[in-house]
Amino acid sequence: MVVDIGGGTTEVAVLSLADIVYARSVRVGGDRMDEAIISYLRRQHNLLVGESTAERIKTTIGTAVMPRDGKGQIMAIRGRDLLNGVPKEIELNQAHVAEALSEPVQQICEAVMSALEATPPDLAADIVDRGVMLTGGGALLGDLDLALREQTGLAISVAEESLNCVALGTGKALEYEKQLRHAIDYES
């Protein structure tokens, strides 16, 4: 099973014998995570921040799991105070970010669980043996693999160069285009 968490969507696919057995796309990804952080800061701290600040928060101290100490790392955030319109700085910790990201993370977990439920039993056994591979920029969210492992009970791995997996895979497919065409023609 491959879970590709991009900017706008998360793609979940079950692959077997070089074919896609199951595929589902959900409209949650890195952009939704940024929106969740912006919304959280607005609601909980009366602070307005932009998308670049939300992205920086996500990549610096973002986590999908509540820190063990209940706080985690701390980061200073600057934005506009919504009560009086002046610039303001607050300290944000990883527990705040985990709370802000809980909904998008849960939606990703639900997409994976749906894929597991729709997977034929024989292939589900293979997924138990081989695990789930996370790709895409969203896979870099701290402890997302742990959150998925807790929900599914499966081995979850983050791909090397997960941010570039799609581009690298497309390049490899182009390199082996002739063999791929031959395999497709052979199946027809």
Point out the domain boundary residue: 100, 129, 145: 100
The structural domain count of the chain equals 2
Point out the domain boundary residue: 46, 70, 100: 100
User: Is residue 143 within 8 Å of 61, Cβ to Cβ?
Assistant: no
Say whether both 114 and 125 belong to one domain.
Answer: yes
Give the structural domain span for 54: 31-100
Supply the pLDDT for residue 186: 57
User: Is residue 159 within 8 Å of 139, Cβ to Cβ?
Assistant: yes
Supply the CATH number for residue 182's domain.
3.30.420.40
Supply the pLDDT for residue 127: 87
Supply the CATH number for residue 42's domain.
3.90.640.10
Give the 3-state secondary structure of the chain. CEEEECCCCEEEEEEECCEEEEEEEECCCHHHHHHHHHHHHHHHHCEECCHHHHHHHHHHHCECCCCCCCCCCEEEEEEEECCCCCEEEEEEEHHHHHHHCHHHHHHHHHHHHHHHHHCCHHHHHHHHHHCEEEECHHHHCECHHHHHHHHHCCCEEECCCHHHHHHHHHHHHHHCHHHHHHHHHHHC
pTM of the prediction?
A: 0.83
Tens of pLDDT along the chain (188 residues) come to 899 998 889 999 898 877 788 899 999 999 999 999 999 999 999 999 999 999 999 999 999 999 999 899 999 999 999 999 899 999 999 999 999 999 999 999 999 999 888 888 888 888 888 889 999 988 899 999 999 999 888 899 998 888 888 788 788 778 877 666 665 565 55
Say whether both 116 and 126 belong to one domain.
Answer: yes
Supply the pLDDT for residue 93: 95
Say whether both 39 and 112 belong to one domain.
Answer: no
Supply the pLDDT for residue 163: 83
Point out the domain boundary residue: 100, 132, 150: 100
